[in-house]
Amino acid sequence: MMFRFIHTGDIHLDSPLRGLAGQQGAAADRIRTATRTAFANLVDYAIEEAVNFFIIAGDLYDGDWRDYQTGLFFVAQMGRLAKAGIPVFLLYGNHDAESQITKRLTLPENVRAFSSRKPETFEIEDLRVALHGQSFRQRDITDNLVLAYPAPIEGAFNIGVLHTGLGGMPGHANYAPCSLDDLVNKGYDYWALAHVHQGTVLHQDPYVVFCGNLQGRHMRETGAKSASVVTVEDGQVVDIAPVEADVVRWVHVPVPVDEINSFSEVIDRLARAIEESAGNAGGRLIACRIELTGRTALHDQLLSSHAQLDVEARAAALALGDEAAWIERVVISTEPEVGAPANDAANAPDDFAAILGEASNDPAFLAQLEAELGELVRKLPHDIRADTDSGELSAALNGEYPALVSEASRYLKARLAAEGA
What pLDDT is stored for residue 327 in this prediction?
Answer: 93
pLDDT of residue 384: 46
What is the pLDDT at residue 396?
Answer: 55
At residue 380, the pLDDT reads: 53
In 3-state terms the chain splits into helix, strand, coil percentages (rounded to 5) of 35, 20, 45
DSSP string, 147-192: GGSPPPPTTSEEEEEEE--TTT-TTS---S---HHHHHTT--SEEE
Residue of 307, 292, 303, 305 lying closest to 260 (CA atoms) = 292
Side-chain half-sphere of 171: how many Cα atoms within 13 Å? 6
Please give the domain boundaries of the chain with CATH numbers for all domains: 2-243 (3.60.21.10), 248-420 (no CATH)
Residues of the chain where predicted confidence (pLDDT) is lower than 50 = 21-22, 344-346, 348-350, 381-387, 421
Whether residue 199 contacts residue 242, with contact meaning beta carbons closer than 8 Å, is answered with: yes
- Burial (0-12, 13-18, 19+ Cβ within 10 Å), 318: middle
**pLDDT at residue 281, rounded to an integer:** 92
The three-point CA angle 40-160-223 to 5° equals 45
Residue 230 carries which DSSP code?
A: E
Say whether pTM exceeds 0.75. Answer: yes
Measured between alpha carbons, how far is 250 from 271 in angstroms, rounded to an integer?
A: 17
Residue among 304, 275, 313, 334 at smallest CA distance from 417: 304
Distance CA 207, CA 201 (A): 7
Q: Report the greatest alpha carbon distance in the chain.
A: 83
The pair phi, psi for residue 296, each rounded to 5°, is -150, 150
DSSP 344-399: GGGG-SHHHHHHHHHHTT-HHHHHHHHHHHHHHHHTS-HHHHTT-SSHHHHHHHTT
299-327 pLDDT, tens digit each: 999 998 999 999 999 999 999 987 899 99
Q: What is the pLDDT of residue 346?
A: 47
* CB atoms near residue 248 (< 10 Å): 26
Q: Are strands 200-203 and 190-194 parallel, antiparallel or unpaired?
A: unpaired
* CA 98 vs CA 92, 137, 162: distances in Å: 8, 5, 16
Q: Determine the pLDDT at residue 349.
A: 46
